[in-house]
Homo-oligomer: A and B are copies of this chain.
Amino acid sequence: MTEPSPVRRRRGRGARERILETATELFTAQGINATGMEQLTTTAGVSKRTLYLHFAGKDDLVHAYLQQLGDGLLPPEISPDLTASDARDQLLAVFEWSPKDPSVPLRGCPFLNASVEVPDPDHPVHRLAAAHKTEFARRLTGLARQAGARDPEALGEQLALVHDGAVARSTALNNADAGRCARALAVQLVDAATA
Min CB gap A186→B, angstroms? 10
Number of copies: 2
In the bound complex, CA of A59 to CA of B167 (Å)? 25
Main secondary structure of the interface of A (DSSP, over half): helix
Whether A181 is near chain B, meaning CB under 8 Å from some CB there, is yes
**Interface code A152-193, partner B: CB below 8 Å = 1, 0 otherwise?**
001001101111111111011110011001101100000010
Could you name 24 residue pairs across A and B whose Cβ atoms are closer than 8 Å?
A: A30-B119, A31-B117, A31-B118, A33-B34, A34-B117, A111-B172, A112-B116, A112-B171, A112-B172, A113-B116, A115-B171, A119-B171, A126-B174, A129-B172, A130-B174, A133-B172, A133-B173, A154-B184, A158-B185, A161-B181, A161-B185, A163-B165, A164-B168, A167-B168
